[in-house]
Amino acid sequence: QRVNVTVRSGLPMVLSGSAEPCAQLVVSSIGVVDTAEQNQRHSARFFDVLTAQLGLGPERIIIRFYPLEPWQIGKNRTVVTFL
């Protein structure tokens, strides 16, 4: 209910100057990715899953964390602030 996933495969990507297979994970959330300490824990878990599932080395994966405020997410004809 609180997680949405979009997968876009086959996109041309360059990471660290190389076009070898790579992945980028973008994580945005309200109150879950607000600190370096939180994101360090999330990063370790995401890397474990992504390296296992995608067969990529950790140097070929990048994760971008975006903290959101409740007023930045629309849902059910309002914003999360009022839900």
In tens, the pLDDT along 40-66 reads 999 999 999 999 999 999 999 999 999
Q: 3-class SS at 13? A: coil
Prediction pTM value: 0.86
At which residue do the structure tokens 């990471």 appear? 15
Region class of 55: left (phi > 0), else alpha (psi between -120 and 50), else beta: left
Q: Which domain holds residue 36?
A: 27-82
Tell me if 51 is assigned to some domain: yes
Tell me if 10 is assigned to some domain: no
- The CATH number of whichever domain residue 64 belongs to comes to 3.30.429.10
Question: How many separate domains does the chain show?
Answer: 1
pLDDT at residue number 1: 63
